[in-house]
Amino acid sequence: MLTWALTFLVVALIAAALGFGGIAGASAGIAKILFLIFLVLFVVTMIARAVRGRPPV
């Protein structure tokens, strides 16, 4: 999922550099949402590992 967020970030940067404002804004929005989902899943996974007694990586 992090790779998708990075992909949309790169698409947004390229689109912004070429002057495509709508595409850049949409891609940046998607990248933000995917990154937040990734971050939440990462935190939940770390909490679940700590609760089960495994140390965080």
pLDDT at residue 55 greater than cutoff 80: no
Please, what is the angle between helix 2-18 and helix 21-51, to 10°?
A: 160
56 has pLDDT over 70: no
Contacts of 25 (CB under 8 A, 6+ apart): 12
Residue 40: its pLDDT value, please?
Answer: 93
Q: pLDDT, tens digit, for every residue of 12-49? A: 888 888 888 788 888 888 888 988 999 999 999 888 88
- pLDDT, residue 5, reads 78
Q: Is the entire prediction scored with pTM above 0.75?
A: no
Sign of CA dihedral 21, 26, 32, 34: negative
Residue 17, SS3 per DSSP:
helix
pLDDT score, position 1: 67
